[in-house]
Amino acid sequence: MNLTGLHLLLSYRCTYECDHCFVRSSPFAAGTMTLSFVRDVLQQAADAGTITSIYFEGGEPFLYYPILLQGVKEARAKGFDVGIVSNGWFAETVEDALEWLRPFADMGEVAFSFSDDDYHGDASSEETPAARARQAAAQLGMEAGSIAIEPPCGEYDPQTPGEPILGGGVRFRGRAVEKLADKTLPRRTWESFDHCPDEDWDEIGRLHLDAYGNLFNCQGIVLGNLQTQTLREVIDSWEPDSHPIVGPLKRGGPAELVRFFDLDLQGRYLDACHLCFLARKVLLDRYPDLLAPTQVYRDV
Ligand code: SF4
């Protein structure tokens, strides 16, 4: 690993239940970090020695405002650059958003990304909450960008493996498989999905961590768990080739997962993630610790 970023899924809970959400967040989702867990993780991140940035995301981190605020404060005190990903739901007006965001402005090096697309909020309204939140952040002198996911159109948007997805079309994993896998969209045969387009398994630069201790690069594929290991131990012991799920994925993408486990999935799929997600769902009961938490795969 070449780990420089740690992304905390502060909670799986969210104000919305978006069709494209790959962690299947909703207003009812369980799995929220406590302040003491956040503190422990920040210390472990500092001890790891290579991590320079901490992201707070979800779900919707502003649902747990006091914990978010304190977590950001303590991350900044440890010298991390901090990013926050939110849908900006709290921004009823720009004036209100200024009050929500002002405490972060004094901490320096806090950057915001606001999800702002047809999946978040009221697409018919002229001004989205995310747009108001972005305006308030800018007025406070903070960096604020947008994450905009487009509806599926059958064209796959290539990106640099290992980089966060900030735009382009929907990836068919999580709830998108149930809600958006339109039968009229163009599909390709399973064998053509012979590599993972988004992840670099050898040079992992950022990891996501959830409230259950699960560490992932692609959410739902567990690389280690902080309830049984330290972050340092996970980093030092990482061997992608010997991971039961990542090994086949690295060798030959989702198609190799199907081949290696002899899965009955020799059909046509919308993208690599579509086949990968369905293959992992079949393997859930066989690898409950490595394909977790169950709530990102199906209702629990
Ligand atoms: S779902 Fe599978 S193919 Fe898609 S980014 Fe994740 S690991 Fe790669």
Residue with tokens 């649902």: 63
pLDDT single digits (tens) 230-274: 999 999 999 999 999 999 999 999 999 999 999 999 999 999 999
pLDDT, position 162: 62
Q: Mean pLDDT throughout 95-109?
A: 96
Q: Is the CB of 277 under 6 A from ligand 1?
A: yes
Distance 9 CA to ligand 1 centre (A): 18
pLDDT single digits (tens) 130-181: 999 999 999 999 999 988 766 676 555 555 666 655 556 788 999 999 899 8
Cα torsion 69, 75, 77, 83: sign:
negative
Q: Are 234 and 215 in contact (CB under 8 A)?
A: yes
Q: Mean pLDDT throughout 28-36?
A: 98
Residue closest by Cα to atom 1 of ligand 1: 273
Q: Mean pLDDT throughout 190-212?
A: 96
pTM for the structure as a whole: 0.92
Phi-psi region of 168 (alpha: psi -120 to 50; beta: other; left: phi over 0): left
Q: Are 143 and 114 in contact (CB under 8 A)?
A: no
Q: Is the CB of 170 under 6 A from ligand 1?
A: no
SS3 36: helix
Q: What is the Cβ-side half-sphere exposure of residue 63, based on CA atoms within 13 angstroms? A: 24
Given the DSSP bridges, would you call strands 81-86 and 167-169 parallel, antiparallel or unpaired? Answer: unpaired
Q: Mean pLDDT throughout 99-123?
A: 85
